[in-house]
């Protein structure tokens, strides 16, 4: 701020503020960060859509094993490409100001690879694979770990985790909100 003219009207900034967990100043800062990912593409085009490969250059996403999945979940087109509004939504959910319940809902969506509103064995296997990359667990260790997860969290014994069961785990995890965080 103070440098040049904002690309956003006061009303647009107010709308973004109402829809996110950010102040107007943080929204403008988020736009600077978005623009820095591809200045040639964003420039003065507020409606620019960046390919996932560009969005994944954001430092915290580049090192996050779920970076691609995060982009897909927050992409309005579900292909991983992001508009500024997609990026702003993503950063807002990952901000310190976002409530734990909002973070839990999005974490569940990120882990639900097949989109069936349950974290089944395949989803959990993919989560563990991403977390243990590049060292993969042996089949026996994977089976043991998945069984332990289900024994601990699958309260209705249906072989998968519902959102309510996942939320129960999150509620018992004091560090979840701090770990599910990306700083602008």
Contacts of 26 (CB under 8 A, 6+ apart): 95, 184
Judge if 106 and 85 occupy the same domain: no
Judge if 72 and 111 occupy the same domain: no
**Prediction pTM value:** 0.91
Residue 4 located in a structural domain: no
* Residue (of 1, 130, 137) closest to 70 by Cα position: 130
Whole-Å CA distances, 168 to 56, 101, 131, 134, 165: 30, 11, 21, 29, 5
Collapsed DSSP state (helix, strand, coil) of residue 44: coil
Judge if 14 and 54 occupy the same domain: yes
Give the model confidence (pLDDT) of 8-19 as tens digits: 999 999 999 999
Q: What is the pLDDT of residue 146?
A: 97
Residue 157 located in a structural domain: yes
β 49-50/82-83 pair status:
antiparallel
32: which 2 tokens? Answer: 């600077």
Judge if 86 and 44 occupy the same domain: yes
Give the model confidence (pLDDT) of 26-77 as tens digits: 999 999 999 999 999 998 787 899 999 999 999 999 999 999 999 999 999 9
48: which 2 tokens? Answer: 């620019």
Q: State which of 94, 111, 140 marks the end of a domain.
A: 94
Residue 117 located in a structural domain: yes
Judge if 116 and 74 occupy the same domain: no
Judge if 108 and 90 occupy the same domain: no
Looking at the 3D structure of the chain, how many domains does it have?
A: 2
User: Residue 168 sits in which domain range?
Assistant: 100-180
Question: How is residue 138 annotated by DSSP?
Answer: P
């Amino acid at each position: 701020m103070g440098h040049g003219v904002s690309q956003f009207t006061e009303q647009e900034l107010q709308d973004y503020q109402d829809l996110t967990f950010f102040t107007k100043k943080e929204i403008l800062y988020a736009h600077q960060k978005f623009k820095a990912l591809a200045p040639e593409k964003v420039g003065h085009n507020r409606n620019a859509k960046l390919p996932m490969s560009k969005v994944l250059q954001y430092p915290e996403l580049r090192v996050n094993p779920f970076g691609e999945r995060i982009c897909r979940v927050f992409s309005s087109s579900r292909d991983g490409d992001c508009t500024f509004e997609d990026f702003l939504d993503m950063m807002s959910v990952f901000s310190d100001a976002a409530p734990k319940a909002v973070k839990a809902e999005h974490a569940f969506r990120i882990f639900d690879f097949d989109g069936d509103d349950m974290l089944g064995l395949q989803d959990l296997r993919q989560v563990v694979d991403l977390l243990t990359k590049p060292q993969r667990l042996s089949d026996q260790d994977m089976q043991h770990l998945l069984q332990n997860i289900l024994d601990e969290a699958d309260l209705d014994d249906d072989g998968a985790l519902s959102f309510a069961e996942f939320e129960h785990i999150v509620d018992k995890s004091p560090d979840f909100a701090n770990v599910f965080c990306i700083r602008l």
